[in-house]
């Protein structure tokens, strides 16, 4: 049992190490790291200062070890655009993305999972077909286009909602809905197929035979078993959500880390890019770890197998 | 013979038209994709009041014909997606074959790379590389090719591992066939259907990735254009000229939707087992 948890935790270590090594290698192969991090129009003094600070004359492996240590302690360096610590710039954006992400994630689960359950128990009905058609549409409709369509309809035509920025709850609605649509569609599809698989099982029929009521069967007997693949999908979708936030925050001028990443990439503020990528990647890896652990918690069979 | 669904017919027609238009190129309008008509800026589509029949879908902020822009954008988006799909499929399958053939630590090392890529949203990897190396067409196409290679690698490794244990493969080896002959002539055809199904899944995803990046201004750069880039261009004119953003969005939507529908159908036809596993 303890061995299961330990193994899972140990397995994330190489991925984290890969991520840091990846940014180190990219930083070193893309050109002079000084120019990359200080900016092309730095003065010779600044460059000298930077060289001394990062001790770039040490052997490469020493620099590498130091780099890993620095990244691990959140010392991402200084943004050459506004001269502030990268960690501070990121820290003030994180709450906005968390707010948007949580709001849309909870919304997606509250809509997607029940829709999938109903689609499964009413298999073949109009409602089922409608849900599945919506899911396919959601898959093909790019989130930036959905966002633009919503702005056209709700901000410009109907003038119900503000088209961008922050300030009120109303500002949150369109970005959150745009971000949630794809996730809700995916969740609905997976809930449906997971439920369909479970509803056919013998133990559900056994429960029916001994007189367990219909909804009790669905909610108490089928749903917990269907939730195992579902948890994986919810975890995997976090990546989609981060990718989605990058686009959606830009469409709606939402001041989160996704938009920060886009502006940093286009202005080549590399210290910021590096810090953001590391933080996002670590979040992803840890989220996957949590999902793995939940998996073991939900399904005792998995603990034993490992 | 099962009745062909009208949705499938629609999807095939959309794809055929899109490919055809991309191939024949700019014969539908006398204007070039970057030809400016400063006297006809932000003209609405011809069916609206104030529209000009010379510009059936309207013009953009410097009077460029939307029809010409859309055709050029479609050509770019389709070619980038096709190139990306081919690179990813070939590279990924190759990695999978190599991992399956050598097993042991080679396989472990390759699969660790696969796990690494699968553990990160691909857009993060793309943005890092674009930021550090600077945007260029070559890098961009390579990045699109890197999308999804890990899925092919995983798939190919799995299917090849089970295929080389089949009696037919053992018989071929016993008859003295070399590795090249074994993999290319005998194993590849047997795993091809699984790989083709994967192609239909990644192709629309690459289109979405390319258009997203170009929309953000981080993909295809002017004077080149792509559907996403046109859409992003129109963002500043939403209140006055919705058509600049809506047309390319519709094209992206129709193409990816059709590709998914055709892919679903293909998956049913080629590999009912796979569908049960991935659905």
- pLDDT tens digit sequence for B223-249: 889 999 999 988 888 888 889 999 999
Q: What pLDDT digit, counting tens, does each position of B181-225 carry?
A: 778 777 788 778 888 888 888 999 999 999 999 999 998 888 889
Of B61-70, B86-95, B262-271, the range with the lowest mean pLDDT is B262-271
Calpha distance A228→A296 (Å, rounded) = 9
Whether residue B275 is predicted with pLDDT greater than 80 in this model: the reply is no
Cβ-Cβ pairs closer than 8 A, A with B, add up to 124
B134 contacts on A by Cβ (under 8 Å):
268
What pTM was estimated for this model as a whole? 0.86
Q: Which residues of B touch A (CB under 8 A)?
A: 112, 115-116, 119-125, 127-134, 204, 208, 211-212, 215-218, 228, 231-232, 235, 238-239, 242, 245-246, 249, 252-253, 256-257, 260-261, 279
Calpha distance B90→B93 (Å, rounded) = 5
Whether residue B277 is predicted with pLDDT greater than 70 in this model: the reply is no
Put simply, the answer to whether A243 touches B235 (Cβ < 8 Å) is no
Q: What pLDDT digit, counting tens, does each position of A161-171 carry?
A: 887 777 778 88
Q: Which residue has the higher pLDDT, B274 or B37?
A: B37
Q: What pLDDT digit, counting tens, does each position of A241-261 carry?
A: 888 889 999 999 899 999 999
Q: Which residue has the higher pLDDT, A274 or B270?
A: A274
Q: What is the number of structural domains in chain A?
A: 1
Put simply, the answer to whether A141 touches B130 (Cβ < 8 Å) is no
How far off is chain B from A17, nearest CA to CA, in Å? 10
Q: Average pLDDT in the B49-78 region? A: 87
B245 contacts on A by Cβ (under 8 Å):
145, 148
Sign of the CA dihedral B201, B204, B210, B215?
negative
How far off is chain B from A281, nearest CA to CA, in Å? 6
Q: How confident is the model at residue B260 (pLDDT cuts 50, 70, 90)?
A: confident
A22 contacts on B by Cβ (under 8 Å):
116, 125, 128
Residues 6+ apart with CB under 8 A from A288: A12, A235, A236, A238, B119
How far off is chain A from B8, nearest CA to CA, in Å? 13
Distances (CA, A) of A46 to A37, A38, A184, B201: 11, 8, 49, 49
Whether residue B279 is predicted with pLDDT greater than 60 in this model: the reply is no
Put simply, the answer to whether B128 touches A239 (Cβ < 8 Å) is no
Q: How confident is the model at residue B50 (pLDDT cuts 50, 70, 90)?
A: confident
Q: What pLDDT digit, counting tens, does each position of A128-148 carry?
A: 888 888 888 877 888 899 999
What is chain B's mean pLDDT, rounded? 85
Question: If DSSP codes are grouped into helix, strand and coil, which group holds residue B78?
Answer: helix
Per-residue model confidence (pLDDT) at position B1: 46
How far off is chain A from B120, nearest CA to CA, in Å? 6
What is chain A's mean pLDDT, rounded? 83
| CA trace torsion B195, B196, B197, B199 (10° rounding) | 90
For A281-303, the DSSP string reads: HHHHHHHHHHHHHHHHHH-HHHH
Q: How confident is the model at residue B9 (pLDDT cuts 50, 70, 90)?
A: very high
Domain containing A239: what range?
98-270
Q: How confident is the model at residue B272 (pLDDT cuts 50, 70, 90)?
A: low
Q: Which two tokens stand for residue B240?
A: 């006055």
- Please indicate if any CB of chain B lies within 8 Å of the CB of A188: no
Whether residue A71 is predicted with pLDDT greater than 80 in this model: the reply is yes
Q: How confident is the model at residue A100 (pLDDT cuts 50, 70, 90)?
A: very high
B127 contacts on A by Cβ (under 8 Å):
246, 261-262, 265, 273, 277
Owner of token pair 């070193």 = A28
Distances (CA, A) of A97 to A179, B52, B120, B138: 11, 44, 18, 33
Put simply, the answer to whether B252 touches A284 (Cβ < 8 Å) is no
Q: Which residue has the higher pLDDT, A50 or A242?
A: A242
Q: Which residue has the higher pLDDT, A67 or A89?
A: A89
Are residues B78 and B18 in contact, defined by beta-carbon separation less than 8 angstroms? yes
Which domains does chain B carry? 6-277 (1.10.3720.10)
Provide the 8-state DSSP code for B187: I
Are residues B127 and B69 in contact, defined by beta-carbon separation less than 8 angstroms? no
CATH number assigned to the domain comprising residue A113: 1.10.3720.10
Whether residue A44 is predicted with pLDDT greater than 90 in this model: the reply is no
Q: Which two tokens stand for residue A69?
A: 């240590």
Whether residue A304 is predicted with pLDDT greater than 90 in this model: the reply is no
CB-based burial of residue A303 (10 Å sphere; 0-12 exposed, 13-18 middle, 19+ buried)?
Answer: middle
Name the percent of chain A lying above pLDDT 90.
13
Contacts with B, A 240-299, CB within 8 Å:
240, 242-243, 246-247, 250-251, 261-262, 264-266, 268, 270, 273-274, 277, 280-281, 284-285, 288
Of B123, B228, B260, the CB nearest to A243: B123
Whether residue A1 is predicted with pLDDT greater than 70 in this model: the reply is no
Domain membership of residue A34 (yes or no) is: no
Per-residue model confidence (pLDDT) at position A186: 84
- Please indicate if any CB of chain B lies within 8 Å of the CB of A196: no
Whether residue B80 is predicted with pLDDT greater than 60 in this model: the reply is yes
Q: Peptide bond preceding B223: is omega within 30 degrees of 0, i.e. cis?
A: yes
Whether residue B151 is predicted with pLDDT greater than 80 in this model: the reply is yes
ipTM of the complex: 0.85
Q: How confident is the model at residue A305 (pLDDT cuts 50, 70, 90)?
A: low
Domain membership of residue A156 (yes or no) is: yes
DSSP bridge pairs for B59 = B65
Name the percent of chain B lying above pLDDT 90.
30
Of A95-109, B33-47, B70-84, the range with the lowest mean pLDDT is B33-47
Q: How confident is the model at residue A290 (pLDDT cuts 50, 70, 90)?
A: confident
Put simply, the answer to whether A148 touches B218 (Cβ < 8 Å) is no
Whether residue A282 is predicted with pLDDT greater than 80 in this model: the reply is yes
């Amino acid at each position: 049992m303890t061995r299961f948890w330990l193994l899972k935790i140990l397995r994330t270590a190489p991925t984290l190490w890969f991520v840091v090594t990846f940014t180190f290698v990219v930083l070193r192969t893309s050109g002079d790291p000084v120019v990359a991090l200080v900016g092309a129009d730095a003065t010779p003094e600044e460059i000298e200062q930077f060289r001394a600070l990062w001790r770039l004359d040490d052997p490469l492996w020493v620099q590498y070890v130091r780099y890993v240590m620095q990244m691990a302690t959140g010392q991402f360096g200084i943004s050459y655009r506004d001269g502030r610590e990268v960690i501070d710039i990121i820290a003030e954006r994180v709450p906005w993305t968390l707010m948007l992400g949580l709001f849309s994630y909870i919304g997606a689960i509250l809509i997607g999972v029940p829709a999938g359950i109903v689609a499964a128990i009413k298999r073949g009905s109009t409602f089922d077909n409608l849900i599945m058609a919506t899911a396919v549409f959601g898959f093909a409709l790019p989130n930036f286009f959905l966002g633009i369509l919503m702005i056209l309809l709700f901000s410009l035509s109907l003038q119900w909602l503000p088209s961008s920025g922050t300030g009120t709850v109303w500002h949150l609605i369109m970005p959150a809905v745009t971000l949630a649509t794809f996730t809700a569609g995916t969740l609905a599809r997976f809930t449906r197929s997971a439920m369909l698989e479970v509803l056919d099982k013998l133990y559900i029929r056994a429960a029916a035979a001994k007189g367990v009521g219909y909804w009790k069967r669905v909610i108490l007997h089928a749903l917990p078993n269907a939730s195992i693949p579902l948890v994986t999908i919810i975890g995997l979708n976090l990546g989609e959500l981060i990718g989605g936030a990058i686009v959606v925050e830009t469409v709606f001028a939402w001041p989160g880390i996704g938009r920060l990443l886009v502006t940093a990439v286009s202005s080549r503020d590399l210290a910021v890019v590096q810090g953001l990528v590391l933080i996002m990647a670590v979040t992803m890896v840890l989220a996957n770890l949590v999902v793995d652990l939940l998996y073991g918690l939900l399904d005792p069979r998995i603990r034993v197998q490992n | 013979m099962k009745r062909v669904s009208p949705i499938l017919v629609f999807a095939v027609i959309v794809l055929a038209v899109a490919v055809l238009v991309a191939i024949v190129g700019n014969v539908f309008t006398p204007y070039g994709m970057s030809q400016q008509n400063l006297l006809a800026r932000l003209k609405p589509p011809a069916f609206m009041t104030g529209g000009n029949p010379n510009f059936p879908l309207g013009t953009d902020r410097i009077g460029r014909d939307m029809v010409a822009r859309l055709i050029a954008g479609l050509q770019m988006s389709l070619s980038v997606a096709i190139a990306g799909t081919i690179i990813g499929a070939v590279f990924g399958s190759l990695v999978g074959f190599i991992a399956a053939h050598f097993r042991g630590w080679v396989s472990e090392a390759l699969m660790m790379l696969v796990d690494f890529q699968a553990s990160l949203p691909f857009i993060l990897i793309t943005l890092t590389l674009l930021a550090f190396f600077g945007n260029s067409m070559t890098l961009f196409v390579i990045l699109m090719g890197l999308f999804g290679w890990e899925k092919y690698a995983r798939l190919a490794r799995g299917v090849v591992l089970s295929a080389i244990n089949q009696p037919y493969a053992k018989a071929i080896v016993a008859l003295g066939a070399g590795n090249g002959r074994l993999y290319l002539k005998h194993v590849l055809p047997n795993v091809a259907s699984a790989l083709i199904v994967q192609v239909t899944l990644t192709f629309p995803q690459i289109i979405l990735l390319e258009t997203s990046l170009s929309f953000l201004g981080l993909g295809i750069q002017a004077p080149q254009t792509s559907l996403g880039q046109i859409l992003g261009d129109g963002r500043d004119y939403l209140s006055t000229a919705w058509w600049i953003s809506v047309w390319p969005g519709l094209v992206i939507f129709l193409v990816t939707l059709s590709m998914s529908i055709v892919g679903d159908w293909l998956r049913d036809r080629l590999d009912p087992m796979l569908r049960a596993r991935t659905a």
